[in-house]
Structure 1
Amino acid sequence: MDLDYKRYDFNSWYQVLLEKPSDSSGSGDSEMPDPAETPKDDPDFDPSNPKDMTRLAERLRKLTTVEFSYVMRPVAPPAVSISPISPPLIKSSDDPLAAPNAQGYAQQGYLDTAARHGMDIRYAWNFKGGHGKDIGFVDMEQGWNPNHEDLKSANLSSSCISGINRWYYNHGTKTLGCVMMLDNQRGGVGIAPACRGRMISVQRPNPSDPAKTIYNVPDTIVDAAKNMAYGDVLLLEIQSVDKGPVESLGIAYQSIRLATALGMVVVEAGGNNGGNMNDIRDGGKAVLDRTSVDFRDSGAIMVGACLSDTLARKPTSAHGNRVDVFAWGDKVATTRTSGDGDKGPPDAYATKTEEPFSETSAASAIIAGAALVVQGIAQANLGYRLSPKDVRAALTVGGTPSLNPGADQIGVLPNFRNIITNAFTPLTSDAFIRSSPTDAGVFNTTTTSANLTSSSPDIIIRQSPLSTPQTTLGPSSNTSTSMTLCQPLVQGRNHTIYARALNRGGIAVAANSLTVTFYHCPTSTLLLPSLWTRIGSTTFPTSITPNRTLSVSNALTWPASSIPDTDNGSKTFALIALLGSSAFPAPTPASLTVWSVWLDLLYTSNNFAARNYQLISRSTGSGGGKSSHSLSFLLPGRPDLAVPFTIETIGNLSVDSNVVLRLPLAIGDALGVQRRPEQVSGGVLSVPVKAVGVSAIGTGMLEKGLLEKCGAQVEVPESVFTASGVWEFAVRQVYLGKEVGRVCWRFGQEAVVS
């Protein structure tokens, strides 16, 4: 922990000196700040004038030392204007808005079946936890009436977490109704009425004038995350100044990314400018276009809006390949209240035809309810909550497409009959391949994934086929966590590859329905998909039962002719395995070329595993009872961008071992490695590292597309090849504080299964 760290104060004002444009005449004072151009001294500058503030923000963004600059000011939420108050609806004995009419349609049609353009929420209510029980929900906007007769309960806090409840009360009340209307024979029923609801306002106290407030999005998101638990749902009922998604602003993106990284499920309104998010630029970068190298994924669930009658995209809805899901953007029945919260009937209701909720505000409120249902079912049936990305993925499983998906670009409408059938592990199957001996198939994106150690015990290469692989490698073999099942490759000989899988779901995987595809890759600290070469695919011949019992695949022959030599003829490289089925095909290397997509595979997929783990036998001794080994590996950079990486070594050898890391001199310089003249020879830098413990080699910018050959010289006592124990040495690569890959060598006895 950094004890000197201070949280950003988004409410502070700073004086900034703006530089004049470069003077082509070469005047010596051209780079000096011009006081006349600063807001403090410019007599024409008016901070209350939005145009002046916008121009100031634009000028600040042009400075190379400024990463983010935008104007924080109140913006109408992404919904229709506040409408006049009408008397509340006459209540019947059975939640009239939710009750189907004679034709089977309800005012709250978004609760209906997929055939009726709904999400089949009633089906979800048949399952334990399907009403969102005990899942935390925070609505982030400006104003609410939490005392509405169909909202007031112990499940909804009457006060804000922080911020001031003011303005747009009707909007906030409509949002809460979609999610939390009580099952009390009045009005309607919320999608997740048993969740625990709270509010947080973007209208923040103004330290310099208590009578006024400051509209502050990033500060509010950070404060919300601070007051939420893992798996809770945060709804962003806000949009950017130009009515686009709020994360198009870099500083808001950073706050959202922090919230999702901490495990909060963030639901974000796409906005109502009718624009294509693919065209949005932040600093000239296409940050919301998934096909762009500049794409940045906040982890939020991005929501578009449809016309309820046709499921066509609502013309005002933002769209693009960043949008994950959509819901109704018109005719949404829910609670409503007076515009200012204290005049007129406070307990009114919106119907399909009278003051309905609409736009991406309505759609995102509906999706927030859906996310709560997903988490409620997960917690009640699995015993744990899903990660933000798992919730986002679950909402798309078997979703209903829009009228014209290619043109609409608003994702899918969640379908809970399909979600429950296909997305929940106790109600379906969930086969996985382990990425390390301790991998349980469950990923938490707030911690380092086991994928990154590239030490799968379930990728096994043999010199000849096994007669009874299920017996030799299965649960009765007592080799579940063994890392020494692979045999060394022999020149000019066919070899056989097997995979093992387990099932953490509640239903068996049918025989021959699961496919495993193998790739080989040069020994490298980053297993970039561009380095993969396909070996082939095979299936699992028997049913994979739901009790996490090891199942072994059919044998896959790897012909001698397709086994490549490495530079030193040692035939050492990484093996990669991907599980897939007809319903959920495995990704291909071509689909993983975008850096963020590849990172998602590493951090969140239990259908991906790698074995970048080399078994080292005795070699020619170097004297003194030691065996010397020359190890080689590739050190890649990010393929699309020059970024900083950290390189470390991890030693788990005997204390009398000697290890020297060998790097091209240019790499050593890039990493900032301190050196003496005697450490450099022939353009290679030799760096002594610890035989036991972690050695930090350095941190620095690695060029775009870099792929450099590096090595290590390791001397270990001969005794390690006869003594029991695990003796290993690894090199790992770290990006933004998280490991993204490593290569590991193991020295000692090879406990090969015969």
Structure 2
Amino acid sequence: MPEFEPPQVIVRFHSSVEVLDDPAAVLKKSDPPRWRRLIAENGAVTLRPVFTALEPARLRELQEHAVRRDPSYRAEPLDHFFYADAKRARDLESMAAALREWATVRSAEVEVIGPDPVVNAADDPRNINQDYLDAAPVGIDARYAWGFAGGDGAGQRIVDVERGWTFDHEDLVAHGITLINGAVLNTSRPHGTSVFGEMIASDNAVGCVGIAPNVASALASSYNTSSIPNAVIAAIARMDFGDVLLLEAQVSVTTGVPQYGPVETVEANYEAIRLATALGIIVVEAGGNGTNNGGTPAVDLDTYRNATGKLVLWRSPGNADFRDSGAILVAAASSAAPHTHQAYSTFGARIDCYAWGENVDTASSTVTGSTTSYTRSFNGTSSAAPIVAGAALVVQGVCQANRSFRLSPRQMRTVLGDPALNTPPAATETRSMGVLPNLRAIIDTELDVTPDVYLRDNLADTGEAHNGFISASPDVILRPAPVADPQAAYGEGSGTELSDTLGFEADFGQDNVIYVRVRNQGSTAAGATTATVFWSPPSTLVAPGLWTLVGTVTLPNVPAGEVLTVSGPLVWPAAQIPAPGHYCLVAIISTPGDPGPAPADFLNWANFATFIRANNNVTWRNFNVVDNDPAADSHVALPFLVAGAPDIARLFEVELLTRLPGDADVLLEVPLRFARDFRADLQIERVDEKRDLAIARLAAAGRVRFGPGLIGAGAVNRLRFLVRLNDLGQSGRIVARQLSGDDEVGRVSWVLAPGVRDRMQMAKKGDPIGALG
């Protein structure tokens, strides 16, 4: 059996090309003479699809989900990738170059999959202890992390992508590891067993212990008898937001004598990895071992050029060709501190982290599947990448157990790669190789969290998770004009600290300004803190798809000690202010020591629910857009939306509550399909087939329940109340709320104020979770 797969040519057609079921015909028909030359030089050429691990419909579904979760993700047609097989091809590089001459071909490259990314162990001295578990600067301080809830990886899932393992090894068998793709390559059993041993070896009476020994799930996806992109896609299908995928593979990044680098240099592999990170999966990728024998030269990723000459791995602001897969790229370093670059390992600005590339004590096996073997000399980027993946499992576990949400790929890479937190290389090291994760610093500084900036959801909010209302933040202040000294007007000592009536109405037709007030309950000051503000129409579920950016303002410093600190004015231009109506402001704050979520992070349903309740970096503020010359009308229109979850179709119920005087006239306009699907017991007055609406009369004081009914992912249903109070001195309240099971996930409420007919005033009393409109 060969040590690794033979080289293959991968052809990618432009997305505008219709390949149908016969991609070879596209080449033949578009340029017959060139096709004849290709056949003459290489023999019969056949093209077979690269992405076959999932049915095309399921793959497209994953891409659609990725687009909703990560707006920066571009869903490329994966059915445009093909392996080009030729029986007599002797020079694959020449064949790929010939294929690139077709106008219909976007890329053609030779994939040379290398051996498992580990160097010659015989050259390395053995180490009798797992010192990589120790405190910085030597190790990642996993032993410290085990003292925290989730610090042993509890509740987390890991998928290892490579070629061989011994699942029933005595230090792994308790995890019940399952193979989900491909087949086990016996010669790779020692490699994969060592990788899993580093990360998850059980805390038992034998062998070693893993960095995250108590993970909830461990899976293996082999590219033996399969391919790297299919192994990744098969893994994605079994993973959720925040899970960790380790890529233990390398491909040649040179022609001639192979020098090995990261697998994402191959476009099909890149697209598979990018899909994974867009779906919220943490991908840790071995950087590759250069010449793979412990010698030189290593590969400088800053100078690597792909088949079309582009510097796709040089992470530099001036490099337009750089493409970011979102993966955490790992280099190999010495085991001794201060750590230095291993001569064979890749390096460059694209590397995020390094870890031990020698002397790693872990489980092992044999080609026949020994269940009791161990090694003290596992090495290469093969040993480095699992250390970083193990650190990611620990960070995710601590974050989930203590903060009730999971980090996104962007957030995880920022935390693990932060040079201010983690262990840098030796001062004498000249090659860029990232940092070694320091779990103690991450837990103490990032996850505990210090500093801890927050926005109040209501006047009683102290910055901790709570069950109170979240839609009346006193810290998002909307004003028609700027004030001379915002800190004096609204900050600590101003006398307005406990006021939630400082400004919640926008004057239509003119510029308005927004101020954001922030407190810091951490032990150290927060540096530059950004406040990003969005507005949304009223909806029972204000999903990110409804948000419109107002802008971002920076607070240069937020001191510790709960000092209420006010931003400068964020100008909201008149041209961007919506028409008069009832609206909601959403504010997110972020500082380097306490990063806030990005809007894309809310596109996962579980994260959405926990962010709005448990994350004090986010708040909501109801407000009205007020026309200074409102036109009188017999009925006041109160439009609102009933929206679907951001990720998949889910069952919801909708409840309407009216608390108005007995002679009030209350109508509801509702889409016909929505009324049918949700089976509401409504008193229908008339049906407007042309507008697809039913108009129903509601009791002045009563309750109507819709559902349960299925609402599609990202779907929006437009409803509105039409209300008339017959006495201008009367007042009342209307509420529309959305439920998932027994849990309220969103609410819109209006107060009709005495003496004002067509101006809705924001409720001063709060709403439960999800009261976003």
Q: TM-score range by the shorter chain?
A: 0.5 to 0.7
* 1:173-572 → structure 2 map (5 Å cutoff): 173-195=193-215, 196-204=217-225, 215-242=226-253, 243-273=260-290, 274-281=298-305, 285-290=310-315, 291=317, 292-309=319-336, 310-338=338-366, 340-341=367-368, 347-351=372-376, 356-396=377-417, 398-404=421-427, 407-425=430-448, 430-433=452-455, 458-462=475-479, 465=489, 467-473=494-500, 485-487=503-505, 497-500=515-518, 508-510=521-523, 516=529, 539=558, 543=562, 553-555=564-566
> Is residue 114 of structure 2 the alignment partner of residue 80 of structure 1?
no
Deviation at 1:319, TM superposition (A): 2.3
Deviation at 1:52, TM superposition (A): 3.8
The Cα offsets for residues 497-531 of structure 1, whole Å up to 9 and x where unpaired, read as 34256x8xxxx4359757655699999x99999x9
TM-score, scaled to structure 2: 0.58
Return the alpha-carbon distance in structure 1 between the equivalents of residues 358 and 246 of structure 2. 19
The Cα offsets for residues 26-47 of structure 1, whole Å up to 9 and x where unpaired, read as xxx9954644135499548783
Amino acid at match of 1:37: R
Distance 1:586 1:141, change over 3 A: closer
Amino acid at match of 1:110: Y
Amino acid at match of 1:165: V
Return the alpha-carbon distance in structure 1 between the equivalents of residues 104 and 724 of structure 2. 56
Contact in 2 for aligned 1:518/1:534 (Cα 8 Å): yes
Return the alpha-carbon distance in structure 1 between the equivalents of residues 141 and 554 of structure 2. 43
Partner of 2:293: none
Distance 1:289 1:608, change over 3 A: farther
Amino acid at match of 1:237: E
Secondary structure of the 2:167 match is: coil
Contact in 2 for aligned 1:19/1:33 (Cα 8 Å): no
Amino acid at match of 2:179: C
Partner of 1:16: 24
Contact in 2 for aligned 1:144/1:341 (Cα 8 Å): no
Secondary structure of the 2:129 match is: coil
Distance 1:690 1:621, change over 3 A: farther
Return the alpha-carbon distance in structure 2 between the equivalents of residues 388 and 539 of structure 1. 27
Deviation at 1:434, TM superposition (A): 8.0
Distance 1:300 1:556, change over 3 A: closer
Distance 1:375 1:341, change over 3 A: farther
The Cα offsets for residues 3-33 of structure 1, whole Å up to 9 and x where unpaired, read as xxxxxxxxx996525759xxxxxxxx99546
Contact in 2 for aligned 1:17/1:35 (Cα 8 Å): no
Partner of 2:80: none
Partner of 1:675: none
Distance 1:565 1:359, change over 3 A: closer
> Is residue 191 of structure 2 the alignment partner of residue 171 of structure 1?
yes
> Is residue 140 of structure 2 the alignment partner of residue 109 of structure 1?
no
Return the alpha-carbon distance in structure 1 between the equivalents of residues 230 and 95 of structure 2. 21
Return the alpha-carbon distance in structure 2 between the equivalents of residues 13 and 263 of structure 1. 32
Deviation at 1:265, TM superposition (A): 2.5
Partner of 1:660: none
> Is residue 95 of structure 2 the alignment partner of residue 56 of structure 1?
yes
Amino acid at match of 1:486: F
Return the alpha-carbon distance in structure 1 between the equivalents of residues 303 and 731 of structure 2. 62
> Is residue 141 of structure 2 the alignment partner of residue 141 of structure 1?
no
Distance 1:485 1:163, change over 3 A: same
Distance 1:218 1:379, change over 3 A: same
Contact in 1 for aligned 2:38/2:98 (Cα 8 Å): no
Contact in 1 for aligned 2:506/2:512 (Cα 8 Å): no
Distance 1:436 1:66, change over 3 A: farther
Return the alpha-carbon distance in structure 1 between the equivalents of residues 442 and 99 of structure 2. 46
Return the alpha-carbon distance in structure 1 between the equivalents of residues 351 and 365 of structure 2. 30
The Cα offsets for residues 476-499 of structure 1, whole Å up to 9 and x where unpaired, read as xxx8xxxx9335579999989342
Distance 1:276 1:522, change over 3 A: farther
> Is residue 36 of structure 2 the alignment partner of residue 36 of structure 1?
yes
Distance 1:690 1:318, change over 3 A: farther
Deviation at 1:399, TM superposition (A): 0.6
Deviation at 1:245, TM superposition (A): 1.2
Distance 1:434 1:47, change over 3 A: farther
Deviation at 1:359, TM superposition (A): 1.6
Q: Which is further off, 36-45 or 367-376?
A: 36-45
Deviation at 1:371, TM superposition (A): 2.0
Distance 1:458 1:280, change over 3 A: farther
Deviation at 1:346, TM superposition (A): 6.4
Q: How many residues of Structure 1 are paired with residues of Structure 2 in the alignment? A: 563
Secondary structure of the 1:145 match is: coil
Partner of 2:141: 120
Q: Which is further off, 190-199 or 323-332?
A: 190-199
Distance 1:555 1:43, change over 3 A: closer
Contact in 1 for aligned 2:526/2:559 (Cα 8 Å): yes
Contact in 2 for aligned 1:73/1:216 (Cα 8 Å): no
TM-score, scaled to structure 1: 0.59
Amino acid at match of 1:238: A
Distance 1:623 1:263, change over 3 A: closer
Contact in 2 for aligned 1:541/1:553 (Cα 8 Å): no
Secondary structure of the 1:275 match is: coil
Structure 1 residues without counterparts, runs of 5 or longer? 1-11, 21-28, 90-96, 98-105, 205-214, 443-453, 474-478, 544-551, 588-596, 629-653, 657-688, 693-715, 729-746
Distance 1:34 1:403, change over 3 A: same
Contact in 2 for aligned 1:498/1:553 (Cα 8 Å): no
The Cα offsets for residues 454-489 of structure 1, whole Å up to 9 and x where unpaired, read as 99874214476355222213xxxxx8xxxx933557
Deviation at 1:328, TM superposition (A): 0.8
Deviation at 1:110, TM superposition (A): 1.0
Query: What root-mean-square deviation, in Å, do the aligned CA atoms of Structure 1 and Structure 2 show?
Result: 5.8
Amino acid at match of 1:267: V
Contact in 2 for aligned 1:405/1:411 (Cα 8 Å): no
Partner of 2:683: none
Structure 2 residues without counterparts, runs of 5 or longer? 1-19, 46-84, 254-259, 291-297, 465-470, 484-488, 537-544, 638-666, 670-690, 695-721, 737-757, 765-773
Secondary structure of the 2:95 match is: helix
Partner of 2:747: none
Distance 1:490 1:256, change over 3 A: closer
Return the alpha-carbon distance in structure 2 between the equivalents of residues 491 and 229 of structure 1. 45
Deviation at 1:575, TM superposition (A): 9.9
Contact in 1 for aligned 2:361/2:375 (Cα 8 Å): yes
Distance 1:622 1:391, change over 3 A: closer
Return the alpha-carbon distance in structure 1 between the equivalents of residues 429 and 32 of structure 2. 52
Contact in 2 for aligned 1:577/1:610 (Cα 8 Å): yes
Distance 1:251 1:389, change over 3 A: same
* 1:589-628 → structure 2 map (5 Å cutoff): 615-620=624-629
